[in-house]
Chain A
Amino acid sequence: MSSIIQTQGLTKVYGSNGTAVHALRGIDLTVAKGEFVALIGPSGSGKSTLMAILGCLDLPTEGTYTLDGHQVQGLSGGELARIRNEKVGFVFQSYNLLPKASIARNVELPMLYAGVGRKERRERALALLEKVGIADKADKLPGTLSGGQRQRVAVARALANEPALLLADEPTGALDSKTGAEVLGLFRELHQQGNTLLLVTHDPSIAAQAERQVEIRDGLIALNEGAA
């Protein structure tokens, strides 16, 4: 099976000499296409840092990373933006929708950056909203939606350019358990449809729903269960 994520010796150091924080200290991780991986670990262990690097939001200090066949290290800011746009879909704990843009426009935006035409953009956005079950809210502003609904919009937006990898950093962290479970159900559905998912969580019961768990501590992989 081809791998979506392949890293070797990833390290990340924040700051310089005196105040340096070694957030990652050598991560070797491989995620195959179609896997659903839960990333767990205590606060400050480096989960978000790893997510950022895997999502090409940030570059590692050292190590190599190949995303869906593309070498990431050494790419320019513009090239990274392109990879984020085409290969990665993000879902954040705090939704991170643009508050002044309508729901549909929020979903359309990644397609706009990809150069998709207006009409097709709109159609695809509506189809995605349909898929996550909130097609009726297309022209509303994010502020008028509940947390669970907002997170569904975020999922729709993440799927906009049919990414190779979906990254979710505590997507249920801000939701009550019922809506959290619903959103999680949505992720499982996406997994069943063949998407590759990597989900960061504190919650062991959520992690248990993934087919594979990776635990990091102090910037190192402590446990790697169910690896393919």
Chain B
Amino acid sequence: MKTSGAFRERLLGAWVEIRENLGRSVLQALGVLLGVASVLGGFSISDSQRRRADEMFVKMGGLDKLNVQPKAAVRDGRPTALQQANLGLRDEDATGGEGLKADAIHGVSRQKFARARVVSAYGDQDRQISGIGGDFIPANGYEVVRGRAFSTSDTDSGAPVVILGTEAAQTFFPKGDALGQTLRIGDVPVTVIGLFEERVFRFREGQHNQFWWRNRIIAVPASLVQRRMNGDAYRRLDRVTFRIPDLGAMGGFAKQLSDLLKANHRLQEDFRLDDVAARIRRRNSQGDVYDIIFLLSGVLALVGGGIVNVNIQMAGLKERVREVGVKMAIGASGREIFKGFMTEALLLTALGSLAGLALGVGFSWIITKSLGIPLYVTPASFLWAYGLAAAFGFLFALYPAWKASRLSPMEALRYE
């Protein structure tokens, strides 16, 4: 290392040059600025949007779920005897599935729906009834705030008990405490043993509660629906959900489960698997497309800016030929001249991208603010934006700097 502080001097010289030609410098920095702002802004907006969506899914009990639902095996024509003899999705399917990979599965929930007339002293409505079992409550982001959840004996025996969401509680017991009261669902009188906490999620600030429908829940043991509300001797289910936090194990499990269910169902594919995480990944990869678009527009701005820069630099070089000649005459080598021009261009790029980062953050702040979602800027977005600007700044600085360094000192000095 030389101790002459040559780098510092170059930086100082570059700064003087930039300051002395403010108009030209601003013009040159503009391309960088816009490119950086568009990459960072775009990334931040899509990151913020995606993060908000992830928050919503976490609030719904997580993404690590595989849903199994019945599906009509027959599309056209009359069902075959085999198809008709099939029993659909049953408890055995749930327990069988659980047995496949007991260590990977962190919970199984069962659902059996029914529609029924629900009657209390204050209300009389036709409502959807959720028969639930297994780990339904935690797996779906519900929480019992008052009273208790269903016990094993409740679910085993099909006890006539119910847990209400806030809307349901408000509808059927507007006057007061629903806990301990009795409700009639169809012909079955049930006792309110618990109340769910209110579920609230607004994607954007000020929007309506997107989870309002979740507060309408009227939950009873799935076995109660199966035995006393549907008259279904086969105890069929409408949905089985497996929780598998290890997303790597998900694919293998889905395959095994599908084989097992097919065997259980006389080789009829009368069920449908829905890998929630995979669905989210697909949604996220849609976000990736936007990222690529933002990236591309940023790169285009940088390339456009770069080309403009080369032009400005080349025009500026004409004015500076004499200066280069003088420097060469007093001993600057071509390499030194090259470094000087590069330093200038890179300093300009650095300043331009700093301004661009600020503009990008400001821009995405305004957009996310107007969308009503919190702004979320990742370090990766900064790195992308800055890295691209630096790369293109460097690339487009090379030619003018090389040109300048190749001037012959004699010609440069004679230049008028």
Interface residues of A (CB under 8 A from B): 52, 55, 57-58, 77-78, 81-82, 84-86, 90, 92, 96-98, 100-101, 109-110, 112-118, 121, 157, 160-161
Contacts and interface: CB of A to CB of B under 8 A. Distances in A.
B305 interface: no
Given A52-B410, A58-B410, A96-B322, A110 B330 contact: yes
Contacts of A121: 4
Interface in B311-331: 322-323, 325-331
Given A112-B4, A113-B330, A113-B331, A96 B336 contact: no
B413 A86 contact: no
Contacts of A77: 333-334
A101 B330 CA distance: 14
B20 A100 contact: yes
Nearest to A114: B331
B179 interface: no
Interface residue tally of chain B, by bracket? 20 to 34
Contacts of B332: 81, 85, 113
Contact of A90 (B16, B323, B330): B330
Contact of B4 (A82, A85, A115): A115
Contact of B331 (A52, A82, A100): A82
Contacts of A117: 3-5
Given A112-B6, A113-B336, A115-B6, A57 B410 contact: yes
A55 B336 CA distance: 19
A58 B412 CA distance: 11
Given A98-B323, A117-B4, A85 B410 contact: no
B88 interface: no
Given A57-B410, A118-B5, A96 B329 contact: yes
Given A58-B410, A157-B330, 12 more contacts: A77-B334, A81-B332, A81-B336, A84-B328, A96-B326, A98-B327, A100-B20, A112-B9, A113-B331, A114-B331, A115-B6, A118-B5
Nearest to B10: A112
Given A115-B6, A118-B5, A57 B326 contact: no
